[in-house]
Amino acid sequence: MVPRSALPTLYSLAEGYPILVVTGPRQSGKTTLVQAAFPEKAYASLETPDERAFAVEDPKGFLARFPDGVIIDEAQHCPALFSYLETLVDRDRRMGLFVLTGSQQLGLLSGVTQSLAGRAGALQLLPFPLSELRAAAIELGDLETLLLRGLYPPLYDRKLSPSQWYGNYVLSYIERDVRQIANVHDLNLFQRFLRLCAARTGQLLNLSNLGNECRIAQGTARAWLSVLEAGYIVFRLPPHHRNLGKRVIKTPKLYFYDTGLAANLLAIQDAGYLAVHPIRAALFETLVVSEWLKRRYNAGLVSNLYFWRDNVGTEVDLIVEEGSAERPIEIKSSRTVTAELFAGLRKWLKYADSQCDAAMLVYAGDQSYTRSGIDVRSWREIRSLSLS
């Protein structure tokens, strides 16, 4: 097992909350993490028909089997449990008593918000960050191979073909979840929508354009996108809200959480082909942005990430905001650093003046150094962005 950096966060939450809620995409390692953290706890999966039927038909009796708490996998399948859990933990008052996992934000987190507010500590677990693989001495390989392979744990725990695994992942999990959550009658049309989303990772989100190209209504595109967000397949990066004296874009950008899934949906399976493919730059940007998001989530924090683009197209790919401090990060897939790569950062620094922390350029090369006061960082050496 690759040690997960979210483990200390989980232990910390267990000291202050009677219920722990771990969400994330399917196959991100949620069950492995919670069972490693709490090996003494009983385990029940609501993916199992018998267990789910028991929980749905008799929630009180289901929970009575576990006087010392239990790990309940895919707990969103039985929202009725949440009210009973509320009563149990209020009476028992032990911390870390119940651990709930789920792969759908809509079902699990909405139930927690309604019934378990103040009683549950939440952690979002995404696929491996690069730092966890490096700590486990797992060779990352070249950039294109990494982008194609992605960072889902099964691809590192077992000998699997990424193309076969992602194909099965789409069939076994994404489409099944879609049928459970949304009233999708035409799965072929939804697959097309999913591929169109993959082609737009790292781009401004235009729902009207997306719907038109897929030949669905804009409202349908919005609903389907919400399903993908709920299942931790895609996320939106909001534009930075502070106006630096210029007109700025107010449309969010769309990203996949994992580059391997996006590449597979685009039928890219060869590293040499990816090296010259137009999507390479967007996948590299997707990788880097998701790395910072994983760092926040593993610490039990919400996203503090934005991007900035003015009305003439000058952009900074990532703005990390912590209190009054802001750090601009430019992401370039070039393996060579040239003066032109700093244009967006220099414009931001000019507008932000003293309100901005040290700027960073992350690129696809192998050397890290400082150039003209800007931290130039290889993708292999991305470390924490703590501003404290």
Residue 286, pLDDT > 90, answer: yes
The per-residue pLDDT for 111 is 60
If pLDDT is split at 50, 70 and 90, which confidence band does 186 have? confident
Q: What is the mean pLDDT of the chain?
A: 90
Average pLDDT value for residue range 273-286:
96
Cβ-in-10-Å burial (0-12, 13-18, 19+) of 55 comes to: buried
Q: How far apart are the first and last CA of the chain?
A: 32
Least confident of 61-65, 85-89, 350-354: 350-354
The whole-angstrom separation of Cα 148 and Cα 141 is 11
* pTM to 2 decimal places: 0.93
- Top CATH class, 7-124: alpha beta
The per-residue pLDDT for 323 is 76
DSSP 83: H
The whole-angstrom separation of Cα 208 and Cα 343 is 31
Average pLDDT value for residue range 348-357:
72
Least confident of 15-19, 225-229, 361-365: 225-229
Residue range 100-125, pLDDT digits in tens: 998 876 666 666 656 677 889 999 99
Residue 386, pLDDT > 70, answer: no
Cα–Cα distances in angstroms (integers) from residue 12 to residues 16, 109, 121, 334, in the given order = 7, 20, 9, 40
Least confident of 4-8, 78-82, 171-175, 230-234: 171-175
Q: Where are the domains of the chain?
A: 7-124, 134-292, 305-381
Contact 196, 210 (CB under 8 A): yes
The whole-angstrom separation of Cα 147 and Cα 166 is 13
The per-residue pLDDT for 388 is 37
| Long-range interactions of 383-386: CB distance < 8 A, separation 24+ | 383/131, 384/295, 385/292, 385/295, 385/320, 385/327, 385/329, 385/360
Residue 385, pLDDT > 50, answer: no
Residue 363, pLDDT > 70, answer: yes
Residue range 304-331, pLDDT digits in tens: 999 998 888 889 999 998 777 889 999 9
Residue 355, pLDDT > 70, answer: no
Q: How many residues does the chain have?
A: 388
Least confident of 36-45, 57-66, 250-259, 322-331: 322-331
Contact 103, 25 (CB under 8 A): yes
Average pLDDT value for residue range 51-65:
96
The whole-angstrom separation of Cα 199 and Cα 384 is 29
Residue range 12-41, pLDDT digits in tens: 999 999 999 999 999 999 999 999 999 999
The per-residue pLDDT for 163 is 93
Average pLDDT value for residue range 371-387:
77
Kindly state the tokens that stand for 343. Answer: 């244009």
The per-residue pLDDT for 316 is 94
The whole-angstrom separation of Cα 35 and Cα 30 is 9
Biggest CA pair distance of the chain? 67
Containing 234, the helix (H) or strand (E) segment is strand 234-237
Average pLDDT value for residue range 265-285:
96
How many beta carbons lie within 10 A of that of residue 186, not counting itself?
10
Indicate the CATH number of 134-292 among 1.10.10, 2.40.50, 1.10.3470, 1.20.58. 1.10.10
Per DSSP bridges, beta strands 360-363 and 325-332 are: parallel
The whole-angstrom separation of Cα 147 and Cα 201 is 13
The per-residue pLDDT for 383 is 59
Number of H helices and E strands in the chain, helices first, is 18, 14
DSSP characters for 41-52?
SEEEETTSHHHH
Contact 300, 9 (CB under 8 A): yes
Up-side HSE of residue 27: CA atoms within 13 Å toward CB? 21
Which residues have C-beta within 8 Å of that of residue 124, sequence separation ≥ 6?
Answer: 22, 23, 24, 232, 297
